[in-house]
Amino acid sequence: MKRLVGLAQLESDQLAELRALLDSHGIRFSETPPTLLGFGSIWVEDEDFPRARELLRQESATFAAQARAQWEQEWREIHKGSHARWILSRLIQRPGEFFLALVLLAFFIGLLVVYPLLYLARRLG
């Protein structure tokens, strides 16, 4: 048996779709459940592995193309190609996440820019 994919990489609906896809193509698989030490995986027989991996690759490519098309449509229709509107939309949808990102950004800018300048000023002065 070879490991096809880890369960940590999939959401529940994606996992259900993958199970249905493997079943519909007659590929036998087994799952190891998540444990304290691991996230769990889907395993397929050695002889089915290349076909299962190709199915997964095709499904991933289809999903990526759909997600990209959806994002481009949203970018044109909702944000109208404006970065400012996109940022405002993110702020409204997820304010906690947005402010946490700003705090972390400010922290790292301070750590990487301001602190070395203060250190240099102390050494020179």
pLDDT higher than threshold 80 for residue 125:
no
Total-model pTM: 0.60
Please state, for a pLDDT cut of 70, what percent of the chain lies above it.
100
pLDDT tens, residue by residue, 62-81:
989 999 999 999 888 888 98
| DSSP calls for the chain | -EEEEEGGGS-HHHHHHHHHHHHHTT--EEEE---SS---EEEE-GGGHHHHHHHHHHHHHHHHHHHHHHHHHHHHHTSTT-HHHHHHHHHHH-HHHHHHHHHHHHHHHIIIIIHHHHHHHHHH-
pLDDT higher than threshold 90 for residue 9:
no
pLDDT at position 13: 86
User: pLDDT grade, residue 100 (50/70/90)?
Assistant: very high
Domains along the chain with CATH numbers: 1-62 (3.30.70.1530)
Estimate the crossing angle of helix 83-93 against helix 95-109, to 10 degrees: 120
- CA 23, CA 29: separation in Å to the nearest integer? 9
pLDDT tens, residue by residue, 20-53:
999 999 999 999 988 888 889 999 999 999 999 9
pLDDT at position 10: 82
